[in-house]
């Protein structure tokens, strides 16, 4: 059945990318169509309550690369959605044995997110991976959200968890850009739905992060860890998001806080699990999932794109650290951006 959603299109512009040589635009604040060796850096800014700040100017930002202040030559406002290139979104879903316990709770919300990122009749495309002991490509790139959501509704679970392998493959096989397409390069985002646990990957978390940073992929995560449970490996999700400029949402944490009579029968099952006491929890759970999906979409919709020319060429292929500051005296804000990038791999024609 086809869903109709009234949400805005979520979007992401790649973080570190060489743009094809073109004539500079006359308006420096317009969309990024620039010369060679330009880094495109998406930045999201929130206030202390987590609300997105969307009315900043280029002069409000300062950017450093490897400790050197760089000039922001190009600036795309967060509200200029129509000036951004199409989105390529990968959905990576945990299909391990532990995931079978909660997947029905998340099923509809994940499908809704697919509709938001890959709406009918749009320019965007998405694909679907599932990971257990192995990694399965369940849906190849498609612009049809029905294909994605129907597959999401019929997933089978079992086995271990190879999350790092799934992320690495998604970046290195599906989201790789060779040669880079310049200003028309699609924005790239991965959404991981899982608890961060990994016990079956051949690749490490460092290799997964490297692949994302090399191919300009931003990673978001919807944590499936429920309240009353503790997974130390949930920290993997936070590191993946932090290193690539994304965020983690945790819809099942403290869902009970506004539900009267929520808890009943605390159990000592090794991690202090609780049984649900009232039907109000189910409604609160759905609201939390809805808010989490809007949070992911809002993060990518509300980004500014800062373009600058690095102080040295991309020929060395070394990691570059990025720091961003806001010139807002006394403001209590959070700034989200990629910690750095590896210069794009040159095409065969560009190699010496």
Interval 320-329: pLDDT, tens: 999 999 988 8
**Per residue in 163-209, pLDDT tens?**
999 999 999 999 987 766 655 677 899 999 999 999 999 999 999 99
Q: State residue 246's pLDDT score.
A: 92
Token pair 């929130």 is at which residue? 46
pLDDT at residue 180 in the model: 64
Is 28 inside any structural domain? no
Q: pLDDT higher for 101 or 266?
A: 101
DSSP string, 145-194: HHHHHHHHTT----S---HHHHHHHIIIIIS--SS--GGGPPEEEEEEEE
Torsion of CA 129, 130, 131, 136, to 10 degrees: -70
Which pLDDT band holds residue 266 (cuts at 50, 70, 90)?
very low
Mean pLDDT of 104-114: 85
Residue 234 resides in a domain: yes
Higher pLDDT, 317 or 255: 317
- Is 1's pLDDT higher than 90? no
Average the pLDDT over 131-147 and give the result.
Answer: 96
> Across the strands, what pairs with 188?
88
pLDDT of residue 267: 46
Lowest-pLDDT choice from 166-170, 171-175, 225-229, 260-264 = 260-264
Q: How far is CA 81 from the centre of its chain?
A: 17
The domain spanning residue 151 has which CATH number?
Answer: 3.40.50.410
**Per-residue confidence (pLDDT) for residue 173, from 0 to 100:** 95
**Domain residue limits at 295:** 87-301
Parallel, antiparallel or unpaired: strands 68-70 and 218-223: unpaired
Number of domains in the chain: 1
Question: H or E element: which one contains 71?
Answer: none
> Which residues make Cβ contacts (< 8 Å) with residue 99, sequence separation at least 6?
93, 157, 194, 195, 224
On whether residue 97 sits in a domain, the answer given is: yes
- Pick from 7-11, 105-109, 348-352 the range whose average pLDDT is largest: 105-109
Q: How deeply is 86 buried, as exposed, middle or buried, from its count of CB atoms within 10 A (0-12, 13-18, 19+)?
A: middle
Q: For residue range 280-314, what is the model confidence (pLDDT) as tens digits?
A: 555 666 677 777 777 886 777 778 888 888 888 87
What is the pLDDT averaged over residues 338-352?
70
Q: Is residue 280 part of a domain?
A: yes
pLDDT score of 272: 43
Provide CB contacts within 8 A for 68, sequence distance 6+: 311
Residue with the larger pLDDT of the pair 80 and 133: 133
Residue 238 pLDDT greater than 60, yes or no: yes
Q: Is the pLDDT of residue 351 over 50?
A: yes
Tell me, yes or no, whether 237 lies in a domain: yes
Residue 303 or 240, more confident: 240
- How many whole angstroms from its chain centre is CA 153? 22
Model confidence, pTM: 0.78
At 288 the pLDDT is 75
* pLDDT tens profile 241-254: 999 999 999 887 76
Band (pLDDT 50/70/90 cuts) for residue 100 is: confident
Q: What is the mean pLDDT of the chain?
A: 78
- For residue 296, the 8-state DSSP code is H
Phi-psi region of 245 (alpha: psi -120 to 50; beta: other; left: phi over 0): left
- In the predicted structure, residue 5 carries a pLDDT above the cut 80: no
């Amino acid at each position: 059945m086809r869903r109709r959603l009234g949400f805005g299109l979520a979007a992401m512009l790649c973080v570190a990318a060489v743009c094809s040589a073109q004539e500079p635009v006359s308006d420096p604040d317009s969309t990024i169509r620039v010369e060679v060796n330009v880094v495109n850096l998406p930045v999201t800014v929130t206030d202390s309550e987590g609300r997105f700040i969307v009315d900043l100017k280029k002069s409000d930002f300062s950017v450093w690369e490897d400790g050197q202040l760089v000039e922001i030559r190009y600036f795309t406002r967060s509200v200029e959605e129509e000036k951004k290139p199409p989105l390529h979104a990968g959905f990576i879903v945990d299909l391990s044995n532990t995931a079978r316990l909660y997947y029905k709770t998340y099923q509809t919300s994940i499908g809704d997110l697919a509709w938001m990122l890959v709406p009918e009749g749009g320019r965007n495309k998405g694909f679907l991976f599932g990971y257990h002991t192995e990694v399965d490509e369940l849906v190849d790139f498609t612009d049809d959200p029905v294909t994605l959501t129907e597959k999401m509704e019929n997933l089978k679970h079992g086995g271990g968890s190879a999350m790092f392998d799934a992320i690495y493959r998604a970046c290195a096989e599906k989201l790789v850009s060779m040669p880079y397409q310049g200003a028309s390069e699609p924005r790239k985002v991965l959404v991981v739905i899982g608890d961060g646990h990994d016990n079956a990957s051949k690749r490490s978390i460092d290799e997964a992060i490297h692949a994302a940073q090399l191919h300009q992929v931003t990673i978001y995560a919807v944590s499936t860890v429920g309240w009353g449970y503790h997974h130390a490996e949930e920290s993997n999700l936070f590191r993946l998001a932090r290193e690539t400029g994304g965020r983690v949402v945790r819809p099942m944490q403290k869902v009970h806080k506004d539900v009267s009579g929520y808890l009943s029968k605390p159990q000592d099952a090794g991690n202090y699990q609780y049984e649900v006491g009232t039907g109000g929890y189910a409604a609160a759970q759905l609201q939390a999932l809805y808010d989490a999906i809007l949070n992911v979409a809002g993060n990518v919709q509300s980004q500014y794109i800062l373009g600058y020319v690095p102080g040295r060429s991309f020929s060395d292929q070394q990691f570059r650290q990025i720091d961003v500051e806001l010139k807002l005296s006394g403001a209590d804000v959070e700034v989200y951006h990629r910690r750095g990038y590896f210069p794009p791999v040159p095409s065969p024609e560009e190699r010496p």
